[in-house]
């Protein structure tokens, strides 16, 4: 059997079912979802990234979402569901995808279940990023993202080689508008109230896998590859 390290690739293997990353802001969903998607050559679908793109382009959707995101609340389900339904119809999704930050409410999860059925996909495998809450503030306030390629850094934990610039493309690094300390409380509250119940929802369905997200990036990536590989067994 082929084995893969954290940074391994699976050139001929397919992701056998969609993967969801579920966890509080700053848990490392984006970092790990990007890596897993790269490993399997499937799209990384981050509703946060999609919304930020709408905001930066000033689309009607972006204008509606911006104030909601700035105060740390969840964007209405109707907006998110339309965005996801349109996205997974695109050809690059035909071999699967990795969701990051979606679903975030039970209504979104129910809708996703139906959508996957309609498109002939298996039901998802959910990476539940379990983390010591004491680590979150440092991860969130230290986060910087590349304006060009969206690569994720952390000024304390994962600094770029040259301060302020991306290692991959030299792009300028910026802090997200909602990553300021005063917005962290409302975001965590929204997570506890609206998103945390999804863990019980997916656990009941037998689809949830707890991942210790307090470990280093490489250790977490290794745990995820093990979980995905184990779920492939008949």
Q: Which residues bind ligand ADP (CB under 6 A)?
A: 23, 25-31, 47-48, 51, 68-69, 72-75, 80, 101-104, 108, 139, 142-143, 152-154, 157-158, 178, 187, 216-217, 220
Nearest approach, Cβ of 137 to ligand ADP (angstroms)? 11
Residue nearest to ligand ADP (CB): 48
Nearest approach, Cβ of 214 to ligand ADP (angstroms)? 7
Nearest approach, Cβ of 205 to ligand ADP (angstroms)? 19
Nearest approach, Cβ of 216 to ligand ADP (angstroms)? 5
Nearer to ligand ADP, 13 or 217 (CB): 217
Nearer to ligand ADP, 143 or 207 (CB): 143
- As annotated, the active-site residues are 29, 104, 143, 176, 187
Nearer to ligand ADP, 14 or 185 (CB): 185
Q: SS in 3 state form for the chain? A: CCCCCCCCCCCCCCCCCCEEEECCCCCCHHHHHHHHHHHHCCCEEEHHHHHHHHHHHCCHHHHHHHHHHHCCCCCCHHHHHHHHHHHHCCHHHCCCCEEECCCCCHHHHHHHHHHHHHCCCCCCEEEEEECCHHHHHHHHHCEEEECCCCCEEECCCECCCCCCECCCCCCEEECCCCCCHHHHHHHHHHHHHHHCHHHHHHHHCCCEEEEECCCCHHHHHHHHHHHHHHHHCC
CA–CA gap between residue 113 and residue 207 (Å, rounded): 12
Among residues 132, 130, 135, which one has the least CA distance to residue 211? 130
How far is Cα of residue 55 from the mean position of the Cα atoms in its chain?
A: 18
Nearest approach, Cβ of 1 to ligand ADP (angstroms)? 27
């Amino acid at each position: 059997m082929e084995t893969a390290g954290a940074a391994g690739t699976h050139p001929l293997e397919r992701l056998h079912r969609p993967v969801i990353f579920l966890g509080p802001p700053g848990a490392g969903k984006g970092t790990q979802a990007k890596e897993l998607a790269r490993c399997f050559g499937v799209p990384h679908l981050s509703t946060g990234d999609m919304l930020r793109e709408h905001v930066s382009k000033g689309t009607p959707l972006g204008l509606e979402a911006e104030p909601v995101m700035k105060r740390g609340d969840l964007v209405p389900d109707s907006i998110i569901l339309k965005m996801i339904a349109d996205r997974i119809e695109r050809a690059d999704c035909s071999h699967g995808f990795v969701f990051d930050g979606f679903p975030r409410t039970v209504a979104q999860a129910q809708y996703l279940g139906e959508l996957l059925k309609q498109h002939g996909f298996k039901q998802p495998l959910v990476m539940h990023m379990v983390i010591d809450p004491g680590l979150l503030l440092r991860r969130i306030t230290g986060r910087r993202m590349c304006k060009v390629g969206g690569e994720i850094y952390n000024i304390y934990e994962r600094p770029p080689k040259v301060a302020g610039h991306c290692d991959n493309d030299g792009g300028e690094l910026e802090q997200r508008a909602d990553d300021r300390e005063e917005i962290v409380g409302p975001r965590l509250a929204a997570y506890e109230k609206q998103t945390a119940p999804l863990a019980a929802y997916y656990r009941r369905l037998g689809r949830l896998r707890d991942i210790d997200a307090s470990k280093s990036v490489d250790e977490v990536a290794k745990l995820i590859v093990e979980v995905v590989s184990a779920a492939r067994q008949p």
